[in-house]
Chains A and B, each alone.
Chain A
Amino acid sequence: MADIKLTKLNKSYGSVHILKDVSLDIKSGEFMVFVGPSGCGKSTLLRAICGLEAISSGQLEIDHAVVNEVPPSKRGIAMVFQSYALYPHMSVYENISFALENQGLPKDEIRKKVEKVGELLQLTPYLARLPKALSGGQRQRVAIGRAIVRGAKVFLFDEPLSNLDAALRVQTRMEIAKLKRDMPNTTMVYVTHDQVEAMTLADRIVVLQAGRIEQVGTPMELYEKPGNTFVAGFIGSPKMNLIAGAPAERIKCKTMGVRPEHLEVVARASAGTIAGVVEYTEVLGSDSFIYVKTDYGLITARENGKTAVKNGDKVHLKATDAHVHRFDENGKRIEGK
């Protein structure tokens, strides 16, 4: 059991202010995902929780104890690095047992624990190998094994899947989801820029931009009720269309947001439709993306299956009213219809 509580956390490198007043409650056993564009401070925030970066001001509590000054190894955390960071000169067994050895556990206890983890992650046949003799997925599993064996209360993942190829990424993502299910009391914090990982794995997502938290919520909350235009544009693929001007004024807001999947391509104009010319279509088989050039910029629409529209067609886009988001001049969400 371990809650993590951040209160007005700040981090600067000299005059560069990276994290600005970050306050966040991560509940025990929660799978929390930090997402944001490159350089938004998500990795720095994770490293601050880990203890690899000193905190400039503010307070970090793990399990109701302030740990600002506590070294990483005493925080009850384990970290899985983006690069795996396996010790190249040690065998898989030694890699996994290194932390236990540092704790001064007796040899036979270490052996028992390492073998158990090896079994759990299907690494038993590889325990005597060096990391260089393993595949990318196996190395990733060793890195996770190192975290598990310590029995840490909090797991920190720093973009663990970004070095794997697409197929392996999906598989490892499922393994991490399963791992979380098997360890319901372990708090996990996961940093990624891949929103599919964020949407599928997270209990709650934290969206960061330029060192500030933009919104915290469950994946569906962020999808259905983005708090501002940044979150609206960041969550969802393809991006939500943000339309300013006449269509937005019609529904009394500054910016109108509508997702491609909630736009319908119709042949005839009616109230509230937006006229345009098809610039480009992408047909993926399961669905098609239609890019329409309008007076309000390029708008993306999505259709199921193959689409009948062709490049250069004159079309009208109709938004499903229930799925239109409204934002004010500051980019904040306006609730209600």
Chain B
Amino acid sequence: MPLPDLSHLMQASARLIDLHDSRRGYGESPAYQGDARSGHADGRYVALATACLSGLHELGRRSGDEYSPLALIAQQVRLELPWAEEVDVEYALNVLSRPTELKLLLQGAGENGHLISEKDTNLCDKAANVAEFRLSRMGRMAIAMATSSDDDHLDIAYIEGDITKLIRALEHGRLRAALGFVDQLNEQLRIAHTSLVSLIERGGRALHAAHDDLMGHTAIMTRTNDLVRSADNKINEIIRADVEVDDDEAPIGLVRERVRELSRGIVRYSRQLSQLSAETSRGISSSVEAPSFAVYAQKWVTNPPTDARLNQVMAALGPTRLVGITPIGTDFVGVIKQRMVVEQEAQQVDLNEYAQPPEHEYIRWLQENRATIEAKITNGGLSLEAAIADGLAGRGDDEAFACLVTAMSAIDSWTDMPDLVLSMRERLMKVSLPEMDLMFSGLSISTTQSTVLATAKEGT
């Protein structure tokens, strides 16, 4: 957000300050007495002050109102004023962070009015003990006043008017102006939100004082939300109509994103208002007044808590460290792979070296020869030598003979023929096949029925 020229703040207030500091006695001559301004009269300090405020505004915007170190501010100032020395920047900041006491007369109903002292005039806050600065409330107000002199831009009560300006800018397709408005609104809302959080945290009287404004603020936020929705609709219209926008305008997508951020901010702010309302309507504050920890340190000298209680406090609020070997993020690198789709590489398979698994060979062999074997068993039984002679062991290769022996040894596993009898003879037999000479003990399968028939045949 470009910073406005702050010089007209001086122009607007210089005469008032002169009057405030006038030494003229009451009732004396009304003639103008002239300015007694000492100094270098070269405008350098004011230029430094303007650059400092500009730098602090930018740094605060980036960091969320964090204090900024002097070196960083000086660096920021030198972007605008290359001749600026750090020591002069520090002097300017020291002056800006000191309050000037003003004596103001509040005009009341009475004749004499009411004199008040105003010290909230420092434009920066200086951190305790270190050379770090940030914009003060008055500093932010000064910038807001310079931006627009008609309203107090930091007061959330005026937010509806600001959003109306945003809508008008959108209606005229002035997106850069719209972006400026919406950025300022987001910043304003964030500051208002954190102030509200601080108020709730502080609790007590401040909370009750805010109660009167609650209803008004809630209504403002409801109406504001409707207005933001209108702004969002305007943006959608621009996108739908595909209106040509000048190159120097801001991108419509960016404006829409910022407007939605604003909408979320308003919802969040409304939620905080509801919480504030709940706190005040309960009539009690959840906040705890600042306890004197030094007094408790004194009490714990003579009346310390037990070790167990103290350990509980330290376990919840004291310093800790991790024990044992605790994994850190980089430990996971390469150990556990992230799930991802890996393209399968084409596999190179040499079919010449492929060998079928034995179980597959056995199943194939059974499918081919099952019917033959079952028929032979039914017709008087099957002996190993007969099966070999019938070609069931092929040409004597390992696989076929192994399949034959396996099938005969585990006959029950592949056929459901009833009453099968497996018998062995201890006499060794020799058979020569083209690829193998075989020597085996006698092995035969028969059904009980065929056994009876064979016995009867031998008897005759």
Do A and B come together as binding partners? Answer: no
